[in-house]
Structure 1
Amino acid sequence: MKHLVSLAAALCVSGTLLSATAGQAQAPTGYYVAVPAAPVAKTSLVTRSTAWSRRGGAFVAAQAPERPQILCQLVADRVGGLSSFAVKGQAYDADQLAKCNAHVKPAPAQMVAR
């Protein structure tokens, strides 16, 4: 009987832990996943012919006709820079990400008058 009570208690604890884990947010998935460097109010955007939707703190899109580097540059420009970009689950390294962010145009308020 004592073992049965211990087993029941262990099952209750396991169930509680599993349900807490299942309730936690998972990383967004998509063919492309772009995480803005700063919070963005937009919930969706379009780059050329690619529709992006925000899931959590990232924008995701299905496979598109443009090369991944071009898509990275386009979405980075639309959201003001990226902290990460992934294609089919493979994250860009620091150099690739820097190339994407190098194409970000400054916001009008940041432009310097000459």
Structure 2
Amino acid sequence: MLKSALLALALVSAPAAATHYRAEPASAPATDKFVARDTVWTCGEGACEAGQSNSRPQVVCTAVVRKLGALRAFTVAGEPLSAEELDRCNARAR
């Protein structure tokens, strides 16, 4: 019984999807939620976050800048894109 209760508590308190991508737009986004390619993004104070997708990071970044415009930073699993990679991504901004 105790094991069942602990398992149920763990399942209820676990997040639905862990943050894998984090984008910091240069200007505030017009919406708090959007879909870019195959990823659902949620925006809050100064950043937008999403779970992992099957696309390469550069493809995901490009999809985001086409929705939001230029980014100040883009992070994948806690690792930021290099300045050069971010510049290439931002070159595709709307």
User: Smaller-chain TM-score range?
Assistant: 0.7 to 0.9
Q: Structure 1 length normalisation: TM-score?
A: 0.64
Q: RMSD in angstroms over aligned alpha carbons?
A: 1.2
Deviating runs (4+, > 6 A) in structure 1?
none
Larger radius of gyration: 1
Match of 1:53 among 42, 48, 51: 42
Q: Structure 2 length normalisation: TM-score?
A: 0.77
Corresponding position of 1:75: 64
More helix, by proportion = 1
Identity %: 36
Structure scoring higher RCO (CA < 8 A, sep ≥ 6) equals: 2
Unpaired segments ≥5 residues, structure 2:
1-17
Encode CA deviations 1:46-93: one digit per residue, 9 max, x unaligned. 012110001321110000011110000110111011000000000111
Unpaired segments ≥5 residues, structure 1:
1-28, 106-114
- Letter paired with 1:43: D
Report if aligned partners of 2:29, 2:43 keep a CA contact under 8 Å in 1: no
